[in-house]
Structure 1
């Protein structure tokens, strides 16, 4: 019929359920939004409790600023927030949340209970003139506020006793959306997603104490770590939090800072989504800012890697993010220090001017967009490379005074004029390396190979003869002479090479030098009994040795 309006304005609870489809994907999304609100409220202790993977109960309690009665009612309205005031504030977001959609969206798809009590009142409320109702400035309110919401409709608002801070209880998530509830995963899977986000939040804020309770059982309880404003004071706190969550892993520190270059002029450049500036920000204003990129945190030493990016955590202004450019920058920085198909272990924090990064891309706020993507990627790769170079420069090759266990490796360059008495470096079987402590090797440049040494005097024969051991390890015979090379004399084992190398004499030790040289060899000399010379170390993983037969690669 003509004149009938077909377009109608949706009710608020329907609009909230539509918004909840983007904001609330699963129980972990609820935990994320509530924990971010607690962090923005300057909480120092946060407790998260879940039951049945978050389906039946999610409770987040903090000791933050809390809310008054009016603020508690207003926070359940759409787009009501305390984070931003104007459209220009979107260009420099420094808080975790800013949309004002989380609480009304969560309350529209669950049985929601909000209990809050303001931390401090600085002004005496109006209308409180009686002696019993008056509050002095600076005192805490004696009662809190509790609001009960069922499916987006407020059912009860009352005064309640509460500790300072806020407690949000979410029960029967998606009770009024059976289709959404049916597509939830198993309880263990949903609990794993909750644990993953809490791990990120605990790493990003080591100064906040976190407690995670699953089905009335405490999974972990992390105390707040002391940290300061300087990076040198924050690194120990992050290291301790990483140790509590992931165990002891060999990590190296990253502390890098570099200025961002001026962006190119936009007069001759076509503006696109990637190059567009935030609303209210001018090109000249962004250039005038002394924008710097600070990269700090911890990353795995060479040889510490994972088969997935599960332990690769990147934070931009304390916000856990996913950015392909940063992932590629990490791989570029490690270069050959990682094997193919392996990914680094890291907990890196990027601090950048909020105007140079856009977090208003998706309601989940996990994806960010840098206005100078290529430059940020280059600087992150440079920070990783410099950290690896500093690590290699600190860990040098073991000297004789700092040998590991009873083994001592002497490394001398051929340019140092070593004499025959000093001897060249010989590595034999039987070196008792300490299996608990591995020697630290650097990556030295390959030395020049020395010229053939003069024949050394023959060592005197031993007076006693002991039968050879089995397995062929004690049958030490001279290596076969290669064409065009003189036979190389073998020095006696040094005292530092362990008892296994000098307690069993060679069966040919009683022969004269000429007889020993012409004695027939019935079996080939075992490779481990051939004198080896250290050539270098590759990536702190492989040791390259040289013998008369060729090169030996030791893992």
Structure 2
């Protein structure tokens, strides 16, 4: 058996770095938290190539004494605690003394720092854990740390990093949450000399929310507060109509530390019980204050997971505080005139509105799905009627129109003509979709059709969604038709949303969205794809941009198809039903929508006979 020995300090630091430093985000987190612990009121972060080339964190905190500078890079050297009992009363964000030595072991680190009482500061340069330089230098009060060549001696870890833009997005999201925890501190993030994020440091949380999430989100927030023995809750939650498809705009703090807590997330959702649709989540900034001894932060190296005492009391307190805030008549949504929905920029918008009538379509007067304009499955347009079925009648909720129905021979001819006119756009042979004869609608949400195997029930929205989705994907390189808006919509975005939109602007334009940068993190939406539903522009963009999906175009196509597809409850004529079924027959995977729900089910003749005991 090999002998047991104590590891070399440099090797131990590299092992520790595996836990503490996973990516550039980890470096920024540790350095910014150190700056906050040093009492900084201004913190600036500059990154290059998503932090993989360099990260610079500057602050105006108390600085480091020259004799302590080198010691700060020793493992488990810290000014935060000195005895084990201090762990029970932690008020600082850092305390282990692992961050700086871990970072210095896998990068080149330059530290420049000065305390206010001294005329000169100290400069240290460390690479791979080895000191290269230690000298006095002139500098302002505070600390500046530059990290270069991250993971240069651990190529396996560097290989698994995301793209520079994705890494920058993670850093932006982290600084957003740290800024929300300290509204009294001014944060600034720059990348490639471009400002990605900046907060005012006014000590007003709502100002910080407006800076990082946008003015529209800030306007939709409600203050909450709650208190019981040893527990205090404060912050903001969104009005029910301001909701998102994910929890990405929920930020939780316990004693000033950003954490992830399933308990608090569940309590927040319970507070909105019956007020939100399924799989919709509110925006929130929740701060929990309790005695330090009631929280154990020494659970995970990243200090993002904590254990909380009195969990049941905290849950009840938060649910009660949220319910009190959101279940009040004061939050009833206001219907504002369309022309005034962007009050703060109305004069600017008017200057940008196109005046030519030829460039506008009557977008505001559209009240139902327009089949004559919508594109399907590779063909340019479909000229089928939007009138109600003539001579139709309802029997037990089913609308039937025998006058427009096609017999089997007619349907075979119609399908053949359709396929000749609109060749199958798939690169593989079309799936053998059953030949169906539409009979009518149920509710009206489902198409009832007869086929060789019995009765078929088709979800009209899911089926149309699948057709549109595949068409968007197949025409990825083509630009789709647009419809100009009478009044452009101003999209005031948070930094993450702005970054996602900017990186994917070409994909939006290909699908028919006409967007124009309108300063800072704002875009102006001038046009939308034909038949995009009126009034859903802002919600659509917030939902799509609230994502970390690696296949953004696929996600965008799926959400656009969902928005543009015929809705449940919308009446269709027999001709329209038949055309939609023909479109399904040419789809690659017609049996499910992009979200995985079935588009069609079958009740066989045998099953019918058994149920009628024939």
Please tell me the TM-score bracket, short chain as reference. Answer: 0.5 to 0.7
Aligned partner (choices 201, 214, 229) of residue 178 of structure 2: 201
**Which has the larger Rg?**
1
Equivalences for 1:370-381 in 2 at 5 Å? 370-381=308-319
Alignment partners' CA distance in 2, 1:326 and 1:224? 27
Listed one character per residue, the Cα deviations across residues 248-297 of structure 1 (whole Å, up to 9, x for unaligned) are 2243433423324xxxxxxxxxxxxxxxxxxxxxxxxxxxxxx2x11111
Q: Match for residue 222 of structure 2? A: 253
Alignment partners' CA distance in 2, 1:384 and 1:295? 10
CA pair 107-387 structure 1, distance change in 2 beyond 3 A: same
How far apart are residue 5 of structure 1 and its match?
6.5
1:43 aligns with 2:45: no
> Which segments of 5 or more consecutive residues in structure 1 lack a partner in the other structure?
121-140, 228-236, 261-290, 399-403, 405-432, 439-470, 472-551
Listed one character per residue, the Cα deviations across residues 363-389 of structure 1 (whole Å, up to 9, x for unaligned) are 101111101222211211111111123
Alignment partners' CA distance in 2, 1:437 and 1:191? 36
- Please state whether the residue corresponding to 1:337 is helix, strand or coil: coil
Alignment partners' CA distance in 1, 2:248 and 2:333? 33
Q: Match for residue 119 of structure 1? A: 116
- Please state whether the residue corresponding to 1:328 is helix, strand or coil: helix
Alignment partners' CA distance in 1, 2:151 and 2:176? 25
Q: Match for residue 206 of structure 2? A: 239
Q: 1:313, 1:347 within 8 Å by CA — same for their partners in 2?
A: yes
Q: Match for residue 253 of structure 2? A: 315
- Please state whether the residue corresponding to 2:45 is helix, strand or coil: strand
Q: Match for residue 384 of structure 1? A: 322
Q: Match for residue 296 of structure 1? A: 234
The TM-score normalised by the length of structure 1 is 0.59
- Please state whether the residue corresponding to 2:32 is helix, strand or coil: helix
- Please state whether the residue corresponding to 2:80 is helix, strand or coil: coil
1:103 aligns with 2:94: no
Q: Match for residue 68 of structure 2? A: 71
Listed one character per residue, the Cα deviations across residues 90-111 of structure 1 (whole Å, up to 9, x for unaligned) are 1121111111100000000001
Listed one character per residue, the Cα deviations across residues 395-417 of structure 1 (whole Å, up to 9, x for unaligned) are 5799xxxxx8xxxxxxxxxxxxx
Alignment partners' CA distance in 1, 2:316 and 2:110? 47
Alignment partners' CA distance in 2, 1:115 and 1:294? 39
Q: 2:224, 2:237 within 8 Å by CA — same for their partners in 1?
A: no
Q: How many equivalent pairs are there?
A: 341
The TM-score normalised by the length of structure 2 is 0.54
How far apart are residue 157 of structure 1 and its match?
0.7
Q: 1:41, 1:66 within 8 Å by CA — same for their partners in 2?
A: yes
Equivalences for 1:160-179 in 2 at 5 Å? 160-179=137-156
Q: Match for residue 394 of structure 1? A: 330
1:85 aligns with 2:82: yes
Q: Match for residue 276 of structure 2? A: 338
Q: Match for residue 13 of structure 1? A: 10
- Please state whether the residue corresponding to 1:84 is helix, strand or coil: coil
Aligned partner (choices 151, 154, 161) of residue 128 of structure 2: 151
Aligned partner (choices 16, 19, 24) of residue 27 of structure 1: 24
CA pair 110-397 structure 1, distance change in 2 beyond 3 A: closer
Q: 2:72, 2:78 within 8 Å by CA — same for their partners in 1?
A: yes
Equivalences for 1:461-476 in 2 at 5 Å? none
Listed one character per residue, the Cα deviations across residues 20-75 of structure 1 (whole Å, up to 9, x for unaligned) are 00000000000000000000000011110100111110000001000111111111
- Please state whether the residue corresponding to 1:191 is helix, strand or coil: helix
Q: Match for residue 160 of structure 2? A: 183
Alignment partners' CA distance in 2, 1:150 and 1:105? 11
Q: 1:254, 1:295 within 8 Å by CA — same for their partners in 2?
A: no
CA pair 436-350 structure 1, distance change in 2 beyond 3 A: farther
Higher helix share: 2
How far apart are residue 327 of structure 1 and its match?
0.9
Equivalences for 1:338-487 in 2 at 5 Å? 338-389=276-327, 392-394=328-330, 434-435=337-338
1:223 aligns with 2:223: no
